[in-house]
Amino acid sequence: MGFFLIPLKRIFKKHPFFLQVILILLPFGLFPILDTSAYHLDLMTNVGIYVLLAMGLNVVVGFAGLLNLGYAAFFAIGAYTYALLNLHAGFPFWAGLPVAGFVSMLFGFVIGMPSIRVRGDYLAITTLGFGEIVRIAFNNLDRWTGGPNGLLGIERPRLWWLSLKGGLHAELFKFSVNAMPYFYLVFFFVAVTAYLLFRISDSKFGRALVAIREDELAASCMGIPTLKIKLQAFGLSAFIAGIAGAVFASKQTIITPDSFDFVLSVLILAMVVLGGLGNIWGAALGALILGILPEVLRELASYRMLIFGLIMILMMIFRPQGILGGQLIKRELQPKEKEAPDVAS
């Protein structure tokens, strides 16, 4: 036993974030064993996709301080990229998945180049416009995207695994309507994304993003290439959304432009704000809360949005940095105290 524990201790000592990801996500990995309800499992799978999206948006909004109101567009681009590759070129899921991520990242660079030169409300308006352009384009390109009817018959993932029945041999496992394989697929992507984002936040690139968020002019004076760093943040954020989009398309097997509207972008942003700007686990927690909240309030469907709005208002009043947000974000969101006038002696 000690032979196996020594290498693990070295890994955890060298990569502390690895241990943190395991300890926090391990209980969620046991969810299918504790709750066998197919509906609850499907709900948690969708929540996992929200977690991916919230973590991706947190790179731009939380780390870099850039307000993006069109994040659902990158989610849509990833979903449609995989769907088109699968339906028209026969790409399987595992081949189309990285392509969907990179195509979304490419569009992240394209929208990022003109957008990062503006700030504040102008950046929000620019990204909002991009999100609506993408949705309307998918809605009108009937020949390729199916228009309002969307794309049907998207192939589910397939996975080769080793079986011991009848001797050691490889068998092909096909995903179906059963949500459990998708739950663990999304769980895997969430774990990998969380670990990589922790490594990035502790790197030179991550510290540069925080410096830009705190004071872009000071960061530029210190030699940080602010435009390049912000562009890379847009690309990384879009890549994560593209991966989530490909998983979503393969799970639903049908996608329509209405699935990627402006409301979805606002919902993902609310998840990041609720959990805590700049906090990776905060973004995940916000996605978990707002993903489960509609189910909890099912009996109060008429008052669901009212309750949701009240929760957000109370959070902004009493804890503006979010549930897991740091004190630094809280100080940024609070109005500056007026300086006392100097009294002549």
Whole-number pLDDT of residue 5: 41
Is residue 319's pLDDT more than 90?
A: no
> 238 vs 102, 138, 152, 318, CA distance in Å?
8, 18, 24, 32
User: Is there a domain that residue 173 lies in?
Assistant: yes
DSSP, collapsed to helix, strand or coil, labels residue 203 as coil
Whole-number pLDDT of residue 15: 57
Distance in angstroms (rounded) separating the CA atoms of residues 21 and 30: 15
User: Is there a domain that residue 54 lies in?
Assistant: yes
Is residue 329's pLDDT more than 70?
A: no
110-123 confidence digits (pLDDT tens): 888 888 777 777 88
Is residue 27's pLDDT more than 70?
A: yes
User: Is there a domain that residue 331 lies in?
Assistant: no
**Two tokens, residue 103:** 């195509």
User: Is there a domain that residue 273 lies in?
Assistant: yes
Distance in angstroms (rounded) separating the CA atoms of residues 311 and 274: 9
User: Is there a domain that residue 21 lies in?
Assistant: no
Q: Flag the least confident range among 109-113, 125-129, 148-152, 320-324.
A: 320-324
Question: For residue 311, which amino acid is it?
Answer: I
Q: By the 8 A CB rule, do 93 and 70 touch?
A: no
For the chain, state the CA radius of gyration. 22
DSSP, collapsed to helix, strand or coil, labels residue 174 as strand
Q: By the 8 A CB rule, do 242 and 104 touch?
A: yes
Q: Which of 25, 17, 66, 29 is nearest to 234 (CA)?
A: 66
pTM summary value: 0.86
Distance in angstroms (rounded) separating the CA atoms of residues 53 and 240: 7
DSSP, collapsed to helix, strand or coil, labels residue 239 as helix
Residue 161 φ then ψ, to 5°? -145, 160
DSSP, collapsed to helix, strand or coil, labels residue 163 as strand
Distance in angstroms (rounded) separating the CA atoms of residues 104 and 238: 5
**Counted domains in the chain:** 1
Q: What is the mean pLDDT of residues 141-163?
A: 85
User: Is there a domain that residue 14 lies in?
Assistant: no
Range of the domain at 83: 36-322
Higher pLDDT, 249 or 336: 249
User: Is there a domain that residue 297 lies in?
Assistant: yes
Distance in angstroms (rounded) separating the CA atoms of residues 150 and 47: 23
User: Is there a domain that residue 128 lies in?
Assistant: yes
Q: By the 8 A CB rule, do 256 and 147 touch?
A: no
Residue 173's DSSP bridge partners are 159
Residue 174's DSSP bridge partners are 158
Is residue 47's pLDDT more than 90?
A: yes
224-236 confidence digits (pLDDT tens): 898 899 999 999 9
Whole-number pLDDT of residue 72: 94
Q: What is the mean pLDDT of residues 276-281?
A: 87
**Confidence tier at 16 by pLDDT (50, 70, 90):** low
**Two tokens, residue 142:** 């009937």
- The DSSP code for 297 is T
Whole-number pLDDT of residue 241: 96
Distance in angstroms (rounded) separating the CA atoms of residues 48 and 19: 20
